[in-house]
Structure 1
Amino acid sequence: MQIETILLIIAAFVIALVIALFQYIYKAKNRKKNSLFFAFLRFLSVFSLLLLLINPTFKQKTYYVEKPDLIVAVDNSSSIKNLRQDQSVIKFINQIKENEELNDRFDLVYYSFAGKLKDSLDLSFDQKQTNISKALEELDQIYKNTIAPTIMITDGNQTYGKDYQFSSLGYKQAVYPVVSGDTTAVTDTKIQQLNVNRYAYLKNKFPVEAILTYSGQENVTTTFQVTSGNGVVYSQPITFSQQSNSAVVSFTLPASRAGVIKYIARLVPLTNEKNTVNNDKNFAVEVIDQKTNVLLISDIVHPDLGAIKKSVESNERRSISISKPQEVKDLDDYQLVILYQPNTRFRKVYEDLNTLKKNYFTIAGTKTDWVFLNKIQNKYTQEITRQTEYYIPRFNTNYSTFLLEDIGFENYPPLIGTFGDISINTNHDPLLYRTISNIETDEVLITAIEENGVREAVLFGEGIWRWRAQNYLDSQGFEDFDDFFGKLIQYLASNKRKSRLNTISESFYYGNANISIKAEYFTKNYEFDRRGNLRISVKNKETEATQTIPMLLKNNSYEVDLSSLSAGNYEYTVTVLGENISRSGSFAILEYDVEQQFLNADVTKLKQVATNTNGKSFHLNQNEALIKELTEDQRYQTIQKSKENVVSLIDWKYLLVIVILLLSIEWFARKYNGLI
């Protein structure tokens, strides 16, 4: 207590005493024998009130005992159940809970972990991923300022994340791994890894690579095979020995039909093999039919036709046919039609294109009938001059319809076109501008137009065969020009239309991967709308079970996590509440549980973790040894601590009660004696 406070208390004592004596001794006309009693009551009440005003503080010290924490972290992954250790783990935990000696020495805190750390023991042993390293990192953050030895009950089998035997070097607590699982080596063959692309093109072959392993001492022979449906599509005998305990099998499979094709890779189990789950792996490939058929219609013979044909067919997934306008039969067989220098003979072709709403590419030149072309369509017009002009290309750096790079167009030979102004009467995106006699103009040479869902590109000049030849002179190859022309063809051949709602999903997912479906929702001006209320309805095709889930806004898309779904075939529909808009799709989930691939506990890594953290490893049947180790370890002592609190007198509520009581006694006593 400070000196100023002591002096104030002395002053309060004197003031209270003076007031009491003045009122009941000095000022009193007739002193009675109980005047001293009244003075004493007044002194106590006044002194108490003055103490409340001064409000002195007092230090209060309390003592308590703090026990060290003992963390019990239990592996909740399905590999515990697959190794038939789930009941043994539960029994071990109950023995820890019921041990009085441990509970007297430690505050026990229980956690479970698999892919994530949870502060509870809701054990189901059905989690399909294990990340021991992440569990240790999170525990280290929680108990970084305390003493908390850690009992980790696990088989040591981790499916993803950092290698915990090295990351445990930074763990500040002693770890006592309790090994759950058989440590005896058994004979086993398994498919260690399967490498395959997700996509393949129709009528092509796609590569598959399988890494096979064997643990055992005898020489064995088995068979590796791949099946699809009820048929075997690949088979090969495999021989293993103690020295030659792995094999890499590389082969190709034909992509014979479009769509998602499911396969099962199988390494035929040995007769004495215990774990046969890791002998099978499911995989799938989506076969894409991306063959683009292009029709080139021309009424004249020109070197451009050969250059266009070679450029289009430089990609093996595209083919081109050349026909005269009067020979054209069915435009529906083609994804794109190229009209080379159209004239009046093209009238029926234009009528069919308008009826079918087919995308097309118009190339104009000196032989183009502009009187006909100006009448047959209303998107653009060319001034009729009957004169020609040379046009040097200039790349539009602001071109945005699709990704394209300048391949050095300004150094390319000029194209020949009709002299005169061009008027374009609709929205368009110029790809190349004209440069005439070294004068840069804003008139287009190539432009892209999209109107009413139909895409068209227009080239106002002939002679692009010179461009392809110039590309060869510059780079000893045609790749740059063919890539430029190929992107233009790809854009025009695409049937994709703008939609206010688009969904993004894979055709199939592996069971051990995160399964998410995204959606993009736009306003009527095709601006991303963050105000949408989207729902997705997912239906299992086999069980007919349906569930509806809201989609959450994440960055610039709406997303839903469907990782909880079991293996099977599904179809989904995304709808926007309040709008008559929906999109549907389908996907498959392939059965895969990486936790089933383990045969034994990883004792080596768990022992290394114990060494790294100054702990010690045990097995499930060594619970008494573990308890003895923990209770006798002098690093974990119960600590007596003190806590000092500063208490204000005004917080002592009984003083106010005393003041009220003193004033009440004084009033009643004076009333009784006739002084009031």
Structure 2
Amino acid sequence: MVIIIGLAYSSLLYTKNPLNKLSFILTILLFVFRFFTVSILVFLLLSPNIKTKRKQIEKPIIIFGQDNSRSILMTGDSIYYTDTLVIGLNSIMSELSQNNEIVSYLFGDIVSEGSYPDYSDNKSNYSDFFKHIRQNYTGLNVGAIILAGDGIVNNGIDPVYSASNISYPVYTIALGDTSQTRDIKIDDIRHNSLVYLDDIFPVEVSLSANLLKGNRTKIKLLENNKVIAQKEVVISNDSYRKSVIFNIEAENTGRRRFSLMLEPIEGETNIENNVRNIFIDVLNSRQKILLLANAPHPDIGALNQSLLTNRNYEVEIEYIRNFSKKVDEFDLVVLHQLPSKTNAAISVLRNIVDNEIPVLYILGNQSQLSVFNRHFEGMDVRSAAGSTVSAQFEFNNSFTYFSFNDELATQLASLPPLVVPLGNYVLSTGAEVFGWQRINGTITDFPLIAFFNIINLKSGVISGEGLWLWRIHDYLLYNNSSAVDAFVSKAVMFLIAAVDKRQFRVITQGEFNSRQDVELVAELYNSALELDNSAEVHLTLTNETNEKFNFAFSPYDDYYTLNLNKLPVGVYGYRASVKLGSKNYSDVGEFIVQQLDNESKNLNADYGMLSRLASEHDGNMYYTDELNELMLAINNTTMTSKIHYEDKFSGLNTIYLVLAILVLLLSVEWFLRKYFGSY
């Protein structure tokens, strides 16, 4: 068709044109020129494409990641790590880049591109680095990973696990120092975040010391820079571990800040890990506790006596046959042998679940276990009807819901047995056993006392009756009832500790680091105890120099949020206020912004982790003086370039030669016609 159109157009112009006076040879020449010109133009109008193959060579990618955390400089020569080592590593990367594509990353607080670390990050997160690689390099021609770090992990998951799906070699460069240094530090602090006025509450401090055998120091508890308690620590060996418990009286309401401080010991290389701060909210609110029993029993009186040692508990004793109150009026319900064989107490059980009220079950000979199993998700007791057995208390050292010292646990273990249902006990997720059943001297795996935290609803089960004998024998043997009273007090504090029924409150974690945005949340409840964010909430922030700054919360969903961004290190007080209807509400508190010290807590490099990481991925660990060996190992690794062929389609109108030919044909034709007088 293209040729026909070209012939037809050229014929009409030259052979069928009566005005054409040109010679025969010149006419044929011009005919040919016009034929090719028109044919090419018509052909281009059909948008033809030319298919070509394009060869692409993909070099192997070598990913270099370097730990940018502070711990590396805290134990080594800073000039070596910031200058000499960086030059050496970049030299190797330059050599390897001749046959490979090199990409370099720094990781710590975040993962970012770069090859010049400043070792300023306050986290060591290897798993984020491997996650970044998975997200960005899956399916690409990665030849190897080179990872330089000290192996210390204080954020994220186990690096060996997080790298488990990587299919190419990993080479590690060991930085930092593995030698043990003289150091004593606070490892952890356990405490309730919420207590009640006049309570005595424990603060348990876990500490450790290395290479300080024979030294003495003191651990101090401070409030408002004033020492309120202190204990001596005698370090008996070079790998010393100890837990210290301070019992504090909640004297004033509001948020209280306490500092735990270890006095430095001469020769310590790191004292940043000697100080920790905690915040505890003290509420002035009496807690209502219901003791609801199937029938009169001496256990009820014993429990009541233990509970009345705390002035913040208001205890009511009721029996199921005459009970007509609403359980949602109480902060804790203790069910003694309920549900029972004579009264299933179904409505009470349902109200407890519906209103999410903490509950403590005490089982016994009158308990109807089939109903108990149906209505309580934490534990099943599969027992033959009426079968019981005597079981003594055996403390579970792995219990973590609250602290209980060894001396009191030993006292409980010496008390008479409780009468428990004989059978199999099956615990659900969220259960922690406080004490096991010891039957005829044999420790079983059946719980005598267990506590549960299922979807933030706390509960507990004492599997037998006979607590009254515990209290009597505790007094006869030790001239007090301290063990039983301590157990009851701690159990009740655990079960109701998280209940906070203020209509307006500001929620803050209490402690922030200097690299973290300070975010506050406020909750406002209306008279129906429904979350309401229709009113404006204002906050005044005061720093340590008594400067005041005003902010407003923003409604979000059904509560309020306020982002104060990053704040300088220091202690800040706040007062939040809101008016809902005709009522004014306020909440005061404080929080602390500290220099982030994750990196100072542990300075001993973990070369074992780096070696495992490399060996599980066909690589090796190298020291900083073995960089040439590392380069040789990588060069000897079989890494090949990938060749890809890409089909490329291009239109003729994009080929400049075709366009040049068209211009040339038209120009020559125009010149000949002009020259020989055709125009």
Normalised-by-shorter TM-score class: 0.5 to 0.7
Instruction: Look up the SS of the partner of 2:203 in the other structure.
Output: strand
Pairwise mapping of residues 522-533 of structure 1 onto structure 2 (< 5 A)? none
| Residue 559, structure 1, aligned to residue 561, structure 2 | yes
**CA distance 1:48–1:572, change in 2 (3 Å):** farther
Pairwise mapping of residues 373-452 of structure 1 onto structure 2 (< 5 A)? none
Report the more deviating stretch, 33-42 or 60-69.
60-69
In structure 1, the partner of 2:49 is: 57
In structure 1, the partner of 2:570 is: 568
In structure 2, the partner of 1:255 is: 249
Q: Give 1:609 shift.
A: 0.6
**CA distance 1:170–1:88, change in 2 (3 Å):** farther
Larger radius of gyration: 1
| Residue 246, structure 1, aligned to residue 236, structure 2 | no
Match of 1:93 among 78, 82, 86: 86
In structure 2, the partner of 1:161 is: 156
Q: Give 1:562 shift.
A: 5.3
Pairwise mapping of residues 207-606 of structure 1 onto structure 2 (< 5 A)? 207-216=202-211, 219-228=213-222, 229-231=225-227, 233-242=229-238, 245-258=239-252, 259-291=254-286, 316-318=310-312, 503-507=506-510, 515-519=518-522, 538-542=541-545, 544=547, 551=554, 553=556, 555-561=557-563, 564-572=566-574, 585-589=588-592, 591=594, 593-606=597-610
Instruction: Look up the SS of the partner of 1:283 in the other structure.
Output: strand
In 2, Cα distance between the equivalents of 1:135 and 1:221?
A: 41
Match of 1:617 among 621, 626, 629: 621
1:381-415 alpha-carbon deviations (Å, 9 max, x no partner):
xxxxxxxxxxxxx99999999767999xxxxxxxx
Q: Give 1:233 shift.
A: 0.6
Question: What TM-score, normalized by structure 1, do the two folds share?
Answer: 0.61
Corresponding letter in the other structure for 1:643: E
Instruction: Look up the SS of the partner of 2:98 in the other structure.
Output: helix
Instruction: Look up the SS of the partner of 1:34 in the other structure.
Output: helix
In 1, Cα distance between the equivalents of 2:536 and 2:250?
A: 41
| Residue 112, structure 1, aligned to residue 94, structure 2 | no
Q: Give 1:46 shift.
A: 1.1
Instruction: Look up the SS of the partner of 1:126 in the other structure.
Output: coil
In structure 2, the partner of 1:675 is: 678
Structure 2: state its 5+ residue gaps.
Answer: 289-300, 316-328, 330-346, 361-464, 468-491
1:64, 1:642 within 8 Å by CA — same for their partners in 2? yes
In 1, Cα distance between the equivalents of 2:247 and 2:359?
A: 39
**CA distance 1:396–1:527, change in 2 (3 Å):** same
Q: Give 1:596 shift.
A: 0.5
1:539, 1:545 within 8 Å by CA — same for their partners in 2? yes
Corresponding letter in the other structure for 1:246: Y
| Residue 150, structure 1, aligned to residue 140, structure 2 | no
1:71, 1:110 within 8 Å by CA — same for their partners in 2? yes
In 2, Cα distance between the equivalents of 1:522 and 1:495?
A: 9
| Residue 132, structure 1, aligned to residue 132, structure 2 | no
Instruction: Look up the SS of the partner of 2:620 in the other structure.
Output: coil
| Residue 666, structure 1, aligned to residue 656, structure 2 | no
**CA distance 1:93–1:543, change in 2 (3 Å):** farther
Corresponding letter in the other structure for 2:543: N
Q: Give 1:143 shift.
A: 1.3
Q: Give 1:82 shift.
A: 2.5
Match of 1:637 among 637, 640, 662: 640
Question: What TM-score, normalized by structure 2, do the two folds share?
Answer: 0.61
1:542, 1:569 within 8 Å by CA — same for their partners in 2? no
Q: Give 1:602 shift.
A: 1.0
How many positions carry a matched residue from both structures? 501
1:211, 1:246 within 8 Å by CA — same for their partners in 2? no
Corresponding letter in the other structure for 1:670: R
1:537-595 alpha-carbon deviations (Å, 9 max, x no partner):
75433373859698584x5444345573344222346799xx99996644222646121
1:467-520 alpha-carbon deviations (Å, 9 max, x no partner):
xxxxxxxx999xxxxxxxx9xxx9xxx9956x7xx6433555577988531135
| Residue 203, structure 1, aligned to residue 198, structure 2 | yes
CA RMSD of aligned residues (A): 5.0
In structure 2, the partner of 1:173 is: 168
Instruction: Look up the SS of the partner of 1:61 in the other structure.
Output: strand
Report the more deviating stretch, 142-151 or 184-193.
184-193
Pairwise mapping of residues 21-36 of structure 1 onto structure 2 (< 5 A)? 21=11, 23-25=13-15, 30-32=21-23, 33-36=25-28
1:198-232 alpha-carbon deviations (Å, 9 max, x no partner):
2333333222333333333x742323422313325
In 2, Cα distance between the equivalents of 1:531 and 1:149?
A: 57
Structure 1: state its 5+ residue gaps.
Answer: 1-10, 294-306, 322-359, 361-393, 408-474, 478-485
1:584-620 alpha-carbon deviations (Å, 9 max, x no partner):
6442226461210122211111111111122222233
Report the more deviating stretch, 62-71 or 37-46.
62-71
**CA distance 1:647–1:509, change in 2 (3 Å):** closer
Corresponding letter in the other structure for 2:508: S
Q: Give 1:135 shift.
A: 1.9
In 2, Cα distance between the equivalents of 1:406 and 1:612?
A: 50
Q: Give 1:113 shift.
A: 1.6
Corresponding letter in the other structure for 2:273: N
1:277-333 alpha-carbon deviations (Å, 9 max, x no partner):
33333334333333479xxxxxxxxxxxxx9xx99x869344789xxxxxxxxxxxx
In structure 1, the partner of 2:2 is: 12
In structure 2, the partner of 1:608 is: 612
In 2, Cα distance between the equivalents of 1:521 and 1:673?
A: 99
1:111, 1:117 within 8 Å by CA — same for their partners in 2? yes
In 2, Cα distance between the equivalents of 1:531 and 1:671?
A: 88
In 1, Cα distance between the equivalents of 2:349 and 2:587?
A: 38
1:539, 1:547 within 8 Å by CA — same for their partners in 2? no
**CA distance 1:511–1:234, change in 2 (3 Å):** farther
Instruction: Look up the SS of the partner of 2:202 in the other structure.
Output: strand
Corresponding letter in the other structure for 1:191: I
1:292, 1:317 within 8 Å by CA — same for their partners in 2? no
2:209, 2:235 within 8 Å by CA — same for their partners in 1? no
1:511, 1:589 within 8 Å by CA — same for their partners in 2? no
In 1, Cα distance between the equivalents of 2:540 and 2:111?
A: 30
1:129, 1:512 within 8 Å by CA — same for their partners in 2? no
**CA distance 1:166–1:405, change in 2 (3 Å):** closer
In structure 2, the partner of 1:38 is: 30
In 2, Cα distance between the equivalents of 1:401 and 1:524?
A: 20
Match of 2:179 among 165, 184, 187: 184
Identical residues among aligned pairs (%):
21
1:60, 1:645 within 8 Å by CA — same for their partners in 2? yes
1:225, 1:235 within 8 Å by CA — same for their partners in 2? yes
In 2, Cα distance between the equivalents of 1:320 and 1:263?
A: 29
| Residue 67, structure 1, aligned to residue 59, structure 2 | yes
Q: Give 1:247 shift.
A: 2.9
